[in-house]
Amino acid sequence: MFEIISNTVAAFFTLSIFSFLYKDNPFYKFAEALFVGVSMGFAIPLVYENAFIPFVYTPIFLGHKFSLIIPSLLGLLYTFRFSKNLSWLSRYPIVFGMGIVGMGVPMSIHSSVLVQMRSAMLPLDTVNTALIFIGTVTILLYFFFSKDHKGVYGKFTNVGVWFMMIGFGASFGYTVMARISLLIGRIQFLVGDWLGFIK
């Protein structure tokens, strides 16, 4: 019984959101506002239960790991964002976060730059490696803006534009596929889980 009620509520809100495709209406506005409210309301106890209790309260008060008080206080400094005079205190946890990001820079350079460069410098013995070579060089030339894209140079950059267009096309095609997949998921819920027409 609970499943029927919960599915019906979910179906009502799904249809309310879809109704925007017809035109803006009060059902859509209601569902949208409720979604924002529920998301926030859901997030607070979720974080409290899954983050605050197991990673702050339990280890400090029950496990007596008092060293955790320092990062907890550092985290609390975020709340000073709301104070006009003391908002500068919130920069300290941000700085700490930036430090962690900095730690990843050398490793990111390895995986996102060095390994990629190595793979772009293979012998041109297959069509694929030749295409990668031409694509990389012509696109890099396109993004060199200190020279006018005219004459022979312009022809090279034009090839780069074609490579980029093909890349954008592939990316857009996958985006369409992803959006249709989401619609399929919702319709599977409406027609299958709710109405029971899919067996």
Contact footprint for another protein (CB under 8 A): 21-22, 43, 46-47, 49-51, 55, 100, 103-104, 107-108, 110-112, 115-116, 118-119, 167, 170-171, 174-188, 191-192, 197-199
Q: How far is the CB of 184 from another protein (least distance, A)?
A: 5
Q: Which is nearer to another protein, 37 or 154 (CB)?
A: 37
Q: How far is the CB of 154 from another protein (least distance, A)?
A: 27
Q: How far is the CB of 149 from another protein (least distance, A)?
A: 25
Q: Which is nearer to another protein, 6 or 112 (CB)?
A: 112
Q: Which is nearer to another protein, 83 or 188 (CB)?
A: 188
Q: Which is nearer to another protein, 86 or 170 (CB)?
A: 170
Taking 3-state DSSP, the helix, strand and coil percentages for the chain, each rounded to the nearest 5, stand at 85, 0, 15
Q: How far is the CB of 108 from another protein (least distance, A)?
A: 5
Q: How far is the CB of 25 from another protein (least distance, A)?
A: 13
HEC assignment per residue over the chain: CHHHHHHHHHHHHHHHHHHHHCCCCHHHHHHHHHHHHHHHHHHHHHHHHHHHHHHHHHHHHHCCCHHHHHHHHHHHHHHHHHCCCCHHHHHHHHHHHHHHHHHHHHHHHHHHHHHHHHHCCCCCCCHHHHHHHHHHHHHHHHCCCCCCCCHHHHHHHHHHHHHHHHHHHHHHHHHHHHHHHHHHHHHHHHHHHHCCCCC
Q: Which is nearer to another protein, 33 or 109 (CB)?
A: 109
